[in-house]
Homo-oligomer: A and B are copies of this chain.
């Protein structure tokens, strides 16, 4: 299932929060809208700075709640700053381009063949140590346009 950005997204968010006994309050909605608007993984600081209605503590708390509910996802770059984006099953599976110079992250959709190869490999994987893979995370590291100049 894959939803366009719109009313559906908020309906799903409401439902997922309800599953974990949480409400989709206006503050949380603002948070999700800010993430959608960004269109790429953003840091907590960026979120707080983007809207006056997003105080630090509440933002952190709500990101945690939304992450637990499966509405948003934590994304890792090369630095230690936490970045968030709307969950993949709401926006589509994709990967990230991570700038090794400034740490910025942008979205990226790989060729279907690459994706297929990865999915196959992950699906079969179960190591001797008992690790069972469920998903994959592929990031391309390099230099972004701004840093290359």
- Using CB atoms and an 8 Å cutoff, list the residues of chain A in contact with chain B: 74, 76-78, 80, 82, 97-100, 106, 108, 110-111, 113-114, 117-118, 121-122, 125, 127, 129-146, 148
Whether the Cβ atoms of B121 and A114 lie closer than 8 Å is yes
CA distance A67 to B2 in the complex (A): 40
Assembly stoichiometry (copies): 2
User: CB-CB < 8 A to A137: which residues of B?
Assistant: 98, 137-141
User: CB-CB < 8 A to A80: which residues of B?
Assistant: 80, 82
Whether the Cβ atoms of B140 and A138 lie closer than 8 Å is no
Whether the Cβ atoms of B142 and A97 lie closer than 8 Å is no
Q: A78-B74, A117-B117 are in contact. Are A135 and B142 (CB under 8 A)?
A: yes
Whether the Cβ atoms of A131 and B114 lie closer than 8 Å is no
Whether the Cβ atoms of B131 and A144 lie closer than 8 Å is yes
User: CB-CB < 8 A to A134: which residues of B?
Assistant: 100, 141-143
CA distance A144 to B113 in the complex (A): 28
Q: A74-B78, A80-B82, A106-B129 are in contact. Are A141 and B148 (CB under 8 A)?
A: no
Min distance, Cβ A76 to any Cβ of chain B, angstroms: 4
Chain B, residue nearest A116 (CB): B117
Min distance, Cβ A17 to any Cβ of chain B, angstroms: 20
CA distance A137 to B99 in the complex (A): 12
Chain B, residue nearest A137 (CB): B139
User: CB-CB < 8 A to A131: which residues of B?
Assistant: 97, 99, 106, 108, 140, 142-145
